[in-house]
Chains A and B, each alone.
Chain A
Amino acid sequence: MERLIEILEDIKPDVDYSSCETLIDSHILESLDIISLIAELEDEYDITIPAIEIIPDNFNSAERIMKMIERLQEEY
C-alpha cells in the first residue's frame, strides 16, 4: 500500500490518499492521471490493466486500486 501511495503522490501530489474515497467522483484523478497511473501500476506490479477495468469503482480510493491490483495479479 505504501508503494501505491508513493506512485499516486508522484502522479498527483497534495492529496490525502489514505482517506480519500472519491478520487474519480471528485475529479481529483483526471483521465490523463489515470493513463499515467495505469502505465506505472503495470510496470510496478507486473499486471495488465485492460480498459474495462477503468471504472470509478476501481479507482475511487487507494484501497480500491489495491484490491484491483491484487485481483488482477491472481487472474494472470
Chain B
Amino acid sequence: MDLASLLLAESGSEMTSFFSLTFLFVFLPVCLIVYAAVPKAAKKYILLLASFVFFWLVSGVLIIYLILTVISVFLFGKWLDNIQTKMRSELAKTEKEKRKALKQQYVKKQRAVLLFAVILHIGLLLALKYSGFFAENFNSLLWILNTPLKIPVPKLMMPIGISFFTLQAVSYITDVYHGLIKADRSILRIALFMSFFPQIVEGPICRYSQTADQLWNAEQIKYKNLTYGLQRILYGMMKKIVIADRLDPMIKAIFDEPNTYHGGIIFLGAVFYTVQLYMDFSGSMDAVMGIAEIFGVKMPENFQRPFFSKSVSEFWKRWHITLGTWFKDYIFYPVTSTKKMKNLTSSARKKLGNHYGPLVAGGIALFCVWLCNGLWHGSDWNYIFFGLYHFVMILAGNMIAPLSGKFFKKVGLDPNKTVYRVFQMIRTALFVVVGELFFRAKGLDVGFGLFGRIVTDYSFDGLNNELLKKLTIDVQDFIIIGITLLIVFAVSLLNEKGVCIRDVIAKKNIALRWCIFYALIMFIVIFGAYGFGYIPVDPMYANF
C-alpha cells in the first residue's frame, strides 16, 4: 500500500491491524510527531483528528455511524442532565413528605429516556448485525412449514468496531442516568472518548470515568511512557506475528475442510486455534495498551493470564475482562436486582440454603449474560451455542463446588496442592478448547460434526510431513512457535507472581536494555510470519 492510497477513503483496510507496516511506520509515527510538536492545549484535538482519520481510513463512509453515535450519546446525556437538574431544583422547593413522590416522577422520566437510548443504540446494533440472520432463519421456518414465501435477506454494511463503541455509548448514558458521572457538556470530549483510535477496532471497552479525562488532558510524551509503550507494542507484535499469524494457514486448512481429518488432528486444530485466538487478541491488546501508554493514557486491562484459571468461571474473569465486567454491571446485577429476583433469592435461600439459593436468580441472570455474550460475538447459531455452553459450564461448576469440597474432605485431599491446581488449569483449558471449536466452526452442525469426530475417531493417522505440507506448516514453524510460547509462558508466570518485567528491564544498565530491545525486534523480524505469499491476518476480534 503506498502513501497516496492512504488518502482515499475505504482503501486503508490494511490499517485495521496495528501491526501492518502502514500503521506502524506511517500512521502512528506521523501522529506521534504531530502530537509531540503541537502545544499542550492542541494535543487533544490532534488525538481526536487522528482518531477520526483512522476510522475513516478503515471504514470509509461508514464513519457516519460513529458520528451519529457521538451526537446521540451527547444529546441523551444532556437530556438526562436537564431532567436531573430540574429534579434537584424542584426537590429543594418541595416539603420533605412530598419529595419521595416527586422524585419518583422524575426517575420515571429518566428511565423512559434511558430506555429510548438503549433501544436506539442496541436496536441499531441488532439491525446491522442480526437482520440477515433472523431473515435466513425465518425463511428456513417458512420452508419447514411448506410456505412458498420468502422474505429478502438484508445485507447491511457494518462499520468496524460498532460492537465495541455501542457498548461504550450505552455505558455512558446508563452511568449518567444513575448519577455516577455528570453529563459531558463538550461533544468533542465525548467524541474522543468514543473514538480513540487504538481502542476502536477491538476495545478494550472503556467506561467514561476510566479514560475520558485522561484523553482530554493529553500530556506531553514522556520518555518512560514511550519506552514502556514501545516494549509493550513489540511484545504484542511477537505474540501476533510470530505465533498467531504463523498458525493461521494450518487452522484455516483444518476448519475449511472439516470432513477431511481424523479426530486427533481436529483436536490439535482446536487447541492451536485457541492459542491463535489468545495470541492474536491479547497481542493486539498489548499494542493498544502500549500505544495508549505512549500518549500517557492508562487503559483498563483486557487479559490477566487466563490460562492460569482453575475454573471456567475464573477464566472469563481473566479473558476479555472489559466485556465481562460490562455484562456483569449492565446485565447480571440489574437482572438480579429486580424486585422479583430479590424475592426469589430470599425464598430460595430459605429452602435451598446459602449456596444453592442465590444460584436460582443468579442462574437466570447468568443465562441472560451468556446469551448476550454469544449474540455479541456473531450472528450464527454456533455463537449462541458458544454462549450457552459457557453458561452451562459455569452453572455446573457452581453446582458441583460444595460437593467437590465435601469429597476432598472425605478422601483427605488438599485442593491447594500444586498438582491438583495444575490439573484444574489443564481441565479448564480443555473446556475452553471445546468452546472455541464451536466458536471457530463454520456453523453449528459443522461444530457438532468436528466434536463428534474427536470423540468417535480420535486418531492421528496420516499425521506426517505430507500432511504438514498440505497444512502449509512445517517442523521449523512448530519449533519457532514452541520457543515463542515458552517466552510468553515465562513472562506470564513472572507476571502471575507479581513481577513487572518492564520495571525489571528499566533497572538494568542502558547497554543491556537496548540489547533486549534489539533482540526482541530482531526476533520479530526474523521469525515473524512475513514472506512471499503472506497475507496479513486481520485482528480476529475486529469483526465482532
Contact = CB atoms under 8 A, between A and B. Distances in A.
A52 interface: yes
B345 A36 contact: yes
Contacts of B334: 51
CB-based closest 3 A-B pairs: A51-B337, A35-B358, A51-B333
A15 interface: no
A14 interface: no
A76 to B, nearest CB: 8
A31 B357 CA distance: 13
20 contacts: A10-B354, A11-B354, A31-B332, A31-B333, A31-B362, A34-B333, A35-B336, A35-B345, A36-B354, A36-B358, A39-B346, A39-B349, A39-B358, A40-B346, A43-B346, A50-B178, A50-B337, A51-B334, A51-B336, A54-B329
B405 to A, nearest CB: 12
A1 interface: no
A32 B359 contact: yes
Contacts of A39: 342, 345-346, 349, 358
Interface string B335-357: 01100001001100100001101
Contacts of B342: 38-39, 42
Residues of A in contact with B, size category = 20 to 34
Contacts of B398: 32
Interface residues of B, number: 22
B180 interface: yes
Contacts of B212: none
A49 B345 CA distance: 14
Interface string A40-69: 101100000111101000000000000000
A9 to B, nearest CB: 11
B78 interface: no
B349 A36 contact: yes
Nearest to A33: B358
Contacts of B346: 39-40, 43
A53 to B, nearest CB: 9
Interface string A16-37: 0000000000000001111110
Interface of A: 10-12, 31-36, 38-40, 42-43, 49-52, 54, 76
A43 B358 CA distance: 15
B427 interface: no
Contacts of A51: 329, 333-334, 336-337
A14 B373 CA distance: 34
B517 to A, nearest CB: 34
Nearest to B335: A51
B70 interface: no
Contacts of A52: 178, 180
Nearest to B342: A39
A35 B346 CA distance: 9
A50 B339 CA distance: 10
A37 to B, nearest CB: 9
Nearest to B333: A51
A6 to B, nearest CB: 13
B182 interface: no
A33 B361 CA distance: 12
A35 B100 CA distance: 26
Greatest chain B CB density within 10 A among A11, A32, A33, A52 is at A32
A39 B346 CA distance: 6
Given A31-B362, A42-B342, A52-B180, A36 B357 contact: yes
Given A42-B342, A49-B337, A35 B362 contact: yes
B370 to A, nearest CB: 14
B333 A54 contact: yes
Contacts of B357: 36
Nearest to A52: B178
Contacts of B361: 35
A10 B358 CA distance: 13
A51 B178 CA distance: 10
B221 to A, nearest CB: 32
A38 B337 contact: yes
